Amino acid sequence: MLAYVLRRIFQSLIVLLAVGFVAFAMFSFVGDPVDNMLGQERTQADIDRLREQLGLDQPFIVQYWRFLEQAAQGNFGLSYRQGRPVSEIIAERLPATIELAFVSGFLAFVGGVGLGVFTAIRRHGVLPSFIMTASLIGVSLPTFLIGILLIYIFSVEFGWLPSFGRGEVVDLGGWTTGFLTASGLKALILPAITLGLYQMTLIMRLVRTEMLEVLRMDYIRFARARGLTEKTINFRHALKNTLVPVITITGLQLGSIIAFAIITETVFQWPGVGLLFINAVQFVDIPVMAAYLMMISVMFVGINLIVDILYFAIDPRLRIERSVGGH
């Protein structure tokens, strides 16, 4: 067990290093930060001085090594754009993204499971067909279009919900939350729907397929034969057996919700890490880009590591395979 976990952790570290390597190799193609940092009146001497100061005159391998050295000591450098420590900026922005991801993940799960069960049980009829058709829109429409549409309808036409920002937030010792104010909650609705819609339709279609599969199983027929109520069959027996793969997928999707909140955050001017990353790319703010990419890869690698370890704990076959592999 321990050897397996250690090997997994070692592999994860290699993945992280590779992500950082690729990221730093790419940064030189994003543009030249020096041009953004100095005004249009700068001279060649200023450019050379700043480039040397920032170490941009070094090959990317050296820049990457410096980054690793600093990062190992918990120092991610100063943002070129804001002139503040990157760790401070990310800590300031992370709560916004996590709250948004959490709410949209929750919406996606509840809505997806509910609608999935409904369309699986009632396969015919106007409403289920409508939901199935509408779910295609959720899968196929790009996020920014959904966001703009929602803003147009609910902010501009009806004036019910805010079109941008987080509303009033309450600072709980370094964690800013929008859950405690009315305007904060209102501000969450549109971005959460926009971000969660794709995941919701995905979960819904998954639940429906799994559920249809399960409903054909023998034990469901026996349950029917026993005279159990439809409600008990559908929810106690069928849904329970459907949920195992759904929960796995949802867990993995939560990672991608955080990682891909970029577009939603840009449309709604949501002050999270995704918006921070977009600004960083436009400005060629290398320290912020590097820290963000490393953070996202740590998150993905972490989730996968946990899943692997859980599988190991749950699935006895993995353990047997190990002893067989010893031959």
Cβ-contact 210, 245 below 8 angstroms: yes
Pick the piece of the chain touching other proteins (CB under 8 A) from 59-67, 126-134, 152-160, 319-327.
152-160
Q: Which of residues 67-96 bind other proteins (CB under 8 A)?
A: 75, 77-78, 80-85, 88-89, 92
Residue 273 CA to residue 288 CA, distance in Å, equals: 10
Residue 12 CA to residue 304 CA, distance in Å, equals: 9
Nearer to other proteins, 278 or 298 (CB): 278
Tell which residue, 98, 257, 261, has the closest CA to residue 176. 98
Take residue 176 and report the two structure tokens written for it. Answer: 């800013």
Residue 159 near other proteins by CB under 8 A: yes
Instruction: Strands of 88-233 (E only): list them.
Output: 170-172, 175-177
Residue 203 CA to residue 266 CA, distance in Å, equals: 25
Nearer to other proteins, 15 or 78 (CB): 78
Nearer to other proteins, 146 or 233 (CB): 146
Nearer to other proteins, 135 or 163 (CB): 163
Beta bridge partners of 175: 172
Nearer to other proteins, 190 or 294 (CB): 190
Q: How far are the Cα atoms of 212, 253, 280, 326 from residue 9, in angstroms, in the given order?
A: 38, 22, 30, 21
Residue 276 near other proteins by CB under 8 A: yes
Q: Which of 2, 3, 10, 45 binds other proteins (CB under 8 A)?
A: 45
Residue 184 CA to residue 120 CA, distance in Å, equals: 36
Pick the piece of the chain touching other proteins (CB under 8 A) from 201-209, 224-232, 240-248, 260-268.
260-268
Query: Residues in the site for other proteins, rule: CB under 8 A?
Result: 29-33, 35-47, 50, 53-55, 75, 77-78, 80-85, 88-89, 92, 148, 151-152, 155-156, 159, 162-166, 266-269, 271, 275-276, 278-279, 282-284
